Structure 1
Amino acid sequence: MKPAPFAYVAAASAADARRHLGAGGVSAKILAGGQSLGPMLNLRLARPSHLVDVTRAGDLRTVTDEGDALLYGAAIRHAEFEDGDVADATPGWLAAIARGIAYRAVRNRGTIGGSLAHADPAADWVVTLTALGAEVVIAGENAARTLPMTGFVQGPLATALEPGEVITGIRIAKRGSSARWGYWKFTQKAGEFAKASAAVLIDLERGETRIVVGAIERAPIVLDDPEAVLADPDIALPLLERLTAPNPPATLALHAAAVRRACLAAAKDEDMPS
């Protein structure tokens, strides 16, 4: 199939994008790489009247050092994280996360902001940025606002974005060399969406320990007592049984295994393959 007809405009800046969104009405959409939106257009699952392309908006492609954090422009591509073209707020974790996203062709086009706006529960950035305690910076017609990832992603393919709003950046706290990280996802073959995933952050210097479970057909789950799970990862299974709607035992076991693998990766302070 082919997309339904739409008007196309390339925005020069975030403010320009907001103006075009307003002119396009409620059915206007942002195009930020198109790796998720493109297939939806071709299948006519999405039929926007206007597409506002932000991939060339200069202020959405910068990295700003804020002292204890880096603010990444929403239109920075996955491949730019992977290749080290932008500074890494972590000890190499962002590059490793980006490297595991789909295929290189996707990473060459897809953007971090586009991934968050789509809010696929299986997306790598959705679960890992939740674990990293990232914040999403949003610009609207009248004011800008900042939301933590836990407030931004509200469910499968659902976010707190209001009509006319644009994600302008993602703020990620800097992590020192003493911080530890683990991320594990299960896929049937390279490039496929994860069937289960989990991310673990241990940053004692900043007083943060976090375990997040993703790819579970809802917003990522932030476990309440991460220290207890780190001490005994086997308790992840009964925790997930209580926190999620009824799921087949095999599905729950897969997610619990992802938690164990991520905990192991963090304990060993090394990246583990998916």
Structure 2
Amino acid sequence: MKPAPFDLVPAMTAAEALPHLAGPREAKPVAGSQSLGPMLNLRVARPELLVDLSACADLRAVTEEDDAILYGAAITHAEFEDGAVPDATPGWLAPIARRIAYRAVRNRGTIGGSIAHADPAADWVVTMTGLGASVRILGPRGARDLPMAEFVTGALSTALEPGEIIAAIRLPRRSARARWSYWKFCRKTGEFAKASACVLADPDRGEHRVLAAAIERAPVALPDPQALIEGRADPRAAVEAALPFLTPERRALQVTATIRALDALDALDALRTGASA
């Protein structure tokens, strides 16, 4: 199928884009078009106007702060994969980006577009939530920041209000002692996950998270993550208690993903111990 007719307006800055998005016509922002494009072709989305953000220099900027890095929403997956932007973590962003779809998609797709689309199985949706990122939003009433855990409100659903866009993703810097693992199940390379889990342990910042994701809703934080990470709690029981709505088959897959993510963290610990011995 082909999309319904629409007009296209290029914008050079976010400020230039906002009046078009807040106008009387139904409008949507677009940058890489890897999420919105298929929806247009299937006519699931039929906006009258597309506002092209791909040339907005302010949406491609990287701002380094003392305790975080602010990544412009129009930065592509490939730029994270290739190390073209600084990494707020101990090298975790490139491997995350490398497993997103295919290189052709990564060349065009943007981190802001992925998060705005809010597919429950999307890699950035899961990992940015697990890493404690926040979303900087621009709109007619100015700027506001929301934690990822509050920004994604459900499957393909976010806290964006009419006329608003994602301007940037703020990712806290992780300490040298921080540990991280992300595991997902796909039938073949490039597909969205059927189940995924991520684990963060950053004792210097006092943060521990174990997230279950690709569950047809926003990622779910499992209770008592530090106990899970330290092996004092049963991950199977934690998943079953937190995700009672899953079918037995999907729950078993999620249990396995969570255990694999926790095991990967243990393997990293063992490697570090061996390297320092």
When normalised by structure 1's length, the TM-score is: 0.95
Describe how 1:21-32 pairs up with structure 2 within 5 A. Answer: 21-23=21-23, 25=25, 27-32=26-31
Secondary structure, aligned partner of 2:23: helix
Describe how 1:10-159 pairs up with structure 2 within 5 A. Answer: 10-23=10-23, 25=25, 27-159=26-158
Q: Which residue of 2 aligns with 1:226?
A: 225
Secondary structure, aligned partner of 1:269: helix
Q: Distance in 1 between matches of 2:24 and 2:93?
A: 35
Q: Distance in 2 between matches of 1:5 and 1:165?
A: 23
Letter in 2 for 1:248: T
Q: Distance in 2 between matches of 1:17 and 1:246?
A: 40
Secondary structure, aligned partner of 1:257: helix
Describe how 1:250-265 pairs up with structure 2 within 5 A. Answer: 250-265=249-264
Secondary structure, aligned partner of 2:22: helix
Describe how 1:199-238 pairs up with structure 2 within 5 A. Answer: 199-232=198-231, 235-238=234-237
Letter in 1 for 2:216: E
Q: Which runs of 5+ in 1 are unaligned?
A: none
- Tell me how far 1:269 sits from its aligned partner: 2.6
Percent identity (aligned): 60
Q: 1:233–1:260: 8 Å Cα contact kept in structure 2?
A: no
Q: 1:24–1:49: 8 Å Cα contact kept in structure 2?
A: no
Q: 2:222–2:242: 8 Å Cα contact kept in structure 1?
A: no
Letter in 1 for 2:21: L
Q: Which residue of 2 aligns with 1:5?
A: 5
- Tell me how far 1:16 sits from its aligned partner: 1.1
Q: Deviations over 1:26-77 (max 9, x none)?
A: x210112111111110111100011011111000001001111000000000
- Residue 173 of structure 1 pairs with residue 172 of structure 2: yes
Secondary structure, aligned partner of 1:250: helix
When normalised by structure 2's length, the TM-score is: 0.94
- Runs of 4+ aligned residues of structure 1 deviating over 4 Å after TM superposition are none
Q: Distance in 2 between matches of 1:119 and 1:249?
A: 25
Q: 1:130–1:220: 8 Å Cα contact kept in structure 2?
A: yes
Letter in 2 for 1:190: T
Q: Distance in 2 between matches of 1:258 and 1:35?
A: 26
Q: Distance in 1 between matches of 2:220 and 2:62?
A: 28
Q: Which runs of 5+ in 2 are unaligned?
A: 270-277
- Tell me how far 1:176 sits from its aligned partner: 2.4
Q: Quote the RMSD (CA, aligned, Å).
A: 1.4
- Residue 188 of structure 1 pairs with residue 152 of structure 2: no
Letter in 1 for 2:268: D
Q: Deviations over 1:243-273 (max 9, x none)?
A: 2243221211111111111112222238xxx
- Tell me how far 1:234 sits from its aligned partner: 7.2
How many residues get paired? 269
Q: Distance in 2 between matches of 1:174 and 1:76?
A: 18
